[in-house]
Amino acid sequence: MANELLTACQAIQEQLVSWRRYFHMYPELGYQEEHTGAKIAQLLSAYCDQVTACVGGHGVVGMLKGSRDGPTLALRADMDALPLQEENQAAYRSTVPGVMHACGHDAHLAILLGTARILAERRNFPGCVKFIFQPAEECLPEGGAQAMIQAGVLDCPRVEAMLALHVSAQLEYGRAAVPQRHVMAGGDVFQATIRGSGTHGATPHNGVDAVVEAAQAIMGLQTIVSRSLDATEAGVVSVCGIRSSSWSNNVLPEAVDLQGTVRFANPQRKDFFKQKIEQILAGVCQQYGGGFRLDYRYGYPPTVNNPALAAMVRGWMEPLLGKERISAPDKPAMSSEDVSRYFQQVPGCYIWLGAKTPDRATSLHNARFDIDERALALGCALMANNTLHFLQAAKERPAAELLNE
């Protein structure tokens, strides 16, 4: 079955490339994916029994029923682009100034559309497949997943498991990684205003220097991971922006604003970082006589694979890739993904698919990011193959029993 599916997906490679390049040329930011959602709904209607648009914003859900009753599996792809000016000179480069698909979501859309086509041509499977095209994945801390969950995408019929795929800029074509448990970190964001007392730059003793306070606070925040977190745990605190209430070479400002992000692998650390940031800001401001205000916003939880499902997925992928080309990393990537919100509700498995460009090495969220487009057909075959295997396995044994091993 696996080789036949790969042959079928390679036969529609030209269409997959066309879809991917179309979405790449016309990217839309999170919460603005009106055109993208409409295009997906139009294309998906050729393959699904039911298509619902404008779900949780601009999300789209397609339903494909098999030839007989059985379990329901969800497949999810993200839709939104990033606020980056593309530096590639390819014919299919972004036509929208300052907006670019630099995280591979254009490829994810093409792969999931191709999977819908392949499965629609092979309806001899039990159960139902839900194709979830989700907006606003890049919009930490809210994200689009929660809105789609609240809109009921996991119900009617109830989803018993979910698969998702992401292209990787580190893995070459023909390779994949399926983490056994920890996939990606949780991600929060924060903004802090540090207040002083403005004065002339020549007489700092007449005020409270908010710039020095901010500098001390930034250095203090870097000790949270190194001195307050267990060394065996992964964590990151990054201050990603700083600005003052005035900009002059002889004025000490009244206030300095900081903003940044927190990443953590352990779900139990949900409140730990907020408390530590508050303690450090309070200590610094007390020392210098200033004050602060902290706006800490909880974002995406860590993405965690269901171990039983991940093990099965690796086995199902072996005929297509070979066992030696599938890894099972045990360390999470420190990026965050709101697919984690679905995985909190239903068992899930996240797959990293090799798509590193052969001529250069770029990372996700880079203005020169591109993919090896051969990964499109392979990704389509992997998703279709995994879907058919899961539906058959969950037909023979209850999914709850199957995924608790």
Q: What's the pLDDT score for residue 167?
A: 98
What's the rounded Cα separation, in Å, for the pair 27 and 83? 10
pLDDT tens digits for 131-181? 999 999 999 999 999 999 999 999 999 999 999 999 999 999 999 999 999
Q: What's the pLDDT score for residue 270?
A: 84
Out of 28, 78, 80, 370, which one is annotated catalytic?
80
Q: What's the pLDDT score for residue 362?
A: 79
Widest CA span in the chain: 81
- Please state the rounded mean pLDDT for residues 296-311: 97
Q: Quick check: 361 pLDDT over 70? A: no
pLDDT band at 405 (very low <50, low <70, confident <90, very high): low
pLDDT tens digits for 212-263? 999 999 999 999 999 999 999 999 999 999 999 999 999 999 999 999 999 9
Out of 106, 137, 337, 338, which one is annotated catalytic?
137
Residue 209: active-site member: no
What's the rounded Cα separation, in Å, for the pair 86 and 366? 8
- Cβ burial of 143 (10 Å; 0-12, 13-18, 19+) is buried
For 101, the 3-state DSSP assignment is: coil
Output the pTM of the full model: 0.95
DSSP-assigned states of every residue in 143-203: -SHHHHHHTTTTTTTTP-EEEEEEEESSSPTT-EE--SSEEE-EEEEEEEEEE-B-EETT-
- For the chain, the structural domain boundaries read 2-184+302-402, 186-300
Residue 172: active-site member: no
Cis bond leading into 157, ω under 30°? yes
- Please state the rounded mean pLDDT for residues 177-196: 97
Task: Answer whether CATH 3.30.559.10 is correct for domain 186-300.
Answer: no
CATH superfamily of 2-184+302-402: Zn peptidases (3.40.630.10)
Contact 376, 13 (CB under 8 A): yes
- CA gyration radius, the chain: 24
